[in-house]
């Protein structure tokens, strides 16, 4: 069997077909829909690919047209999908967004019994991590099916065994499981990661009410090598055993859709952190947090989970304060 292309980042999880009404209002009365794809891990994969990293995305898709759409879309973004499995017995998942003109969109999942929900430890192969540097996982995958949490745990362990670093975004989805099971499972995965990426609400869910600094110390104490707290409109803060850095937010004048902003943040952070050229933790953290804040803010400016994610040249221009020539 031929060797795989080198990958800066490997990620795996469920992607779904996303159907969005073309007009605002109750979903029940929407006459027309647009279709796209979405999934936390594939959102991160697209963000990283556009920022110049090589990415390998792995999942299980139904042997159906929706699976074809997901695989071809990601391949078109330059992502390696050669290890994706197609399952003729279980379908590709679907979800809907509902925009009512105020607040975040409502989200309706149709993913129970999907091909990805059947993911089990025996599906995780050492080959997944061949010629790779880093594994990124989220807390969504463990909630999908009876064996998906064990599959994620197996993947994190195997990645470390092969010398990869691992990042973990808890990406809490309360609709998918009970709070007790979510807290127990997510906490069990923190010691298996090098970079932990919770939002402030997720940190409170996992550890109770603390100060930001206490959260950093707490999760470092559980075994993470770096802790990155997303603070929304307040920016972000990062901790390592040697440094604690706060980065100011990238201000935007309006918010269209916050779904996918956390995935954009993760892509921005990892794209910088994995390519740092300094031994200075404080300097590396600040650079990664500033890029993460920028991408997270940009992601709120458009409908869709990933379509507006910027390419590297645009990020560099924005970070340098330059303006784009449009005509």
The answer to whether 203 and 173 are in contact (CB under 8 A) is no
Residues with Cβ within 8 Å of residue 25, at least 6 apart in sequence:
99, 100, 101
Residues with Cβ within 8 Å of residue 140, at least 6 apart in sequence:
13, 14, 40, 41, 171, 173, 176
The half-sphere exposure of 283 on its side-chain side, counting CA atoms within 13 A, is 6
Instruction: Write down the catalytic residue from 80, 263, 281, 305.
Output: 263
Closest alpha carbon to 259 in 314, 204, 296: 296
Partner residues linked to 110 by β-bridges: 94
Angle 148-161/179-189 helices, nearest 10 degrees? 10
d(CA 189, CA 194): 11
Q: Is 113 left (phi over 0), alpha (psi -120 to 50) or beta?
A: left
Six token digits for residue 88: 């003729």
Phi/psi for 237 (5° steps) reads -140, 140
DSSP-assigned letter for residue 112: T
The answer to whether 166 and 156 are in contact (CB under 8 A) is yes
CA angle 96, 77, 197 (to 5 degrees): 65
Partner residues linked to 226 by β-bridges: 195
First to last CA, the chain: 49
Active site residue 263: yes
d(CA 90, CA 83): 18
The catalytic residue positions are: 263
């Amino acid at each position: 069997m031929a060797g795989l292309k080198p990958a800066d980042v490997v990620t795996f999880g469920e992607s779904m077909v996303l159907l969005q009404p073309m007009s605002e209002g109750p979903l029940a009365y929407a006459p027309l829909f647009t279709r796209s794809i979405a999934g936390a891990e594939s959102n991160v994969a697209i963000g990283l690919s556009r920022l110049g990293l090589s990415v390998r995305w792995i999942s299980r898709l139904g042997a159906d047209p929706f699976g074809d759409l997901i695989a071809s879309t990601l391949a078109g973004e330059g992502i390696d999908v050669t290890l994706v499995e197609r399952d003729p017995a279980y379908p590709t998942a679907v979800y809907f967004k509902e925009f009512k003109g105020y607040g975040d969109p409502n989200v309706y999942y149709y993913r129970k019994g999907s091909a990805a929900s059947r993911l089990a430890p025996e599906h995780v192969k050492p080959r997944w991590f061949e010629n790779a540097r880093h594994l990124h996982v989220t807390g969504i995958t463990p909630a999908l099916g009876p064996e998906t949490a064990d599959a994620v745990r197996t993947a994190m362990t195997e990645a470390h065994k092969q010398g990869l670093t691992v990042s973990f975004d808890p990406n809490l989805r309360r609709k998918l499981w009970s709070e007790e099971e979510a807290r127990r499972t997510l906490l069990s995965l923190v010691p298996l990661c090098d970079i932990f990426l919770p939002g402030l609400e997720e940190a409170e869910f996992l550890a109770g009410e603390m100060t930001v600094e206490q959260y950093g110390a707490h999760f470092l104490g559980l075994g993470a090598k770096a802790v990155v707290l997303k603070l929304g409109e307040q920016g972000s803060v990062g901790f390592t055993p040697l440094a604690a850095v706060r980065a100011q937010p990238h201000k935007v004048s309006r918010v269209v859709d916050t779904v996918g902003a956390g995935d954009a943040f993760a892509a921005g952070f990892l794209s910088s952190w994995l390519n740092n050229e300094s031994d200075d933790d404080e300097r590396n953290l600040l650079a990664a947090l500033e890029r993460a804040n920028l991408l997270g803010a940009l992601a709120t400016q458009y409908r869709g989970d990933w379509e507006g994610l910027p390419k590297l040249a645009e990020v560099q221009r924005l970070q340098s304060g330059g303006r784009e020539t449009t005509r």
